[in-house]
Amino acid sequence: MKKHLAVLALGCTAVATPALAQDNSTFTGPRVEAILGYDKTQAGSSVDNDTTSSDDQSVDGLLYGIGAGYDVAVGGVVLGVEGEYTDSTAKTGYDNGDFEGFGFGNVKVGRDLYVGARAGVLTSPRTMVYAKAGYTNARFDVLASDGTTELKNNFDTDGWRVGAGVEHALGPQTFAKLEYRYSNYNKGEVDYPVGTDSARFDIDTDRHQVVVGVGMRF
């Protein structure tokens, strides 16, 4: 009898182990989060005019913002949609006497709108790794003046983003995540304060971000 119970217990364990791996309900439902991280924007390969290692044609700063999303379990995979609104402290300046304009001139990196999707798999009952992709629209605020009037003609740019990260459940409804993402902007336009925007033109701008997020599910 004891032998039969031992065999039954082993069988139940074998069934429960894959079932536990598929129990991804911890990572489903609506979520909101705060985002903070490192932001670097630079000239793409077709624009970069580097001649020395110090002339990297890039700006960096602190990224901050908010995000929201909704995730569902589909078999052993978590699928989700998400959006973000972020801003950055990065702006152009001089590095060892060289002006780091990365093809835009004197600008500050402004707000960034992102919408996309992600797919993840559990590596433990409380940890998920995922990949993401989507559309991003970034604004670059022109920093210029004629001495009496500040120029307000900003750049709006369109591009795509890919990334990957790991999310960990801190509790039944709270989570933290660490994420890397790369964005490329390939179209831009001048956003005039009065009248229509300019015609769209080709650009090549790269963006690298490493961010942490803390959020809550409902």
What is the percent of the chain with per-residue pLDDT over 90, rounded to a whole number? Answer: 59
C-alpha–C-alpha distance, residues 130 and 79, integer Å = 9
Helix (H) or strand (E) holding 161: strand 154-169
| Domain-located, residue 15 | no
The pLDDT tens digits of the residues spanning 112-135 come to 999 999 999 999 999 999 999 999
Query: What pLDDT, on the 0 to 100 scale, is given for residue 208?
Result: 97
Q: Which of 177, 128, 119, 117 shows the shortest CA–CA distance to 23?
A: 128
| Domain-located, residue 12 | no
CATH number at residue 112: 2.40.160.20
CB 27 within 8 A of CB 128: yes
The pLDDT tens digits of the residues spanning 159-173 come to 999 999 999 999 999
| Domain-located, residue 18 | no
Which tops the pLDDT comparison, 134 or 45? 134
Residues 24-51: what's their mean pLDDT?
86
Residue 57 φ/ψ region, left for φ over 0, alpha for ψ in the -120 to 50 degree band, beta for the rest: left
Residue span of the structural domain in which 104 resides: 24-217
Question: Is the predicted pLDDT of residue 52 greater than 70, yes or no?
Answer: no
| Domain-located, residue 114 | yes
**Domains of the chain: total:** 1
Cα–Cα distances in angstroms (integers) from residue 213 to residues 12, 20, 65, 170, 189, in the given order: 37, 26, 10, 12, 31
Q: Which two tokens stand for residue 187?
A: 């179209």
C-alpha–C-alpha distance, residues 13 and 1, integer Å = 18
Which tops the pLDDT comparison, 1 or 132? 132
Which tops the pLDDT comparison, 101 or 126? 126
Residues 188-207: what's their mean pLDDT?
84
What is the percent of the chain with per-residue pLDDT over 70, rounded to a whole number? Answer: 80
C-alpha–C-alpha distance, residues 166 and 179, integer Å = 7
Judged on CB neighbours under 10 Å (0-12, 13-18, 19+), 171 is exposed
| Domain-located, residue 156 | yes
Q: Which of 39, 47, 44, 54 shows the shortest CA–CA distance to 99?
A: 54
The whole model's pTM is what? 0.82
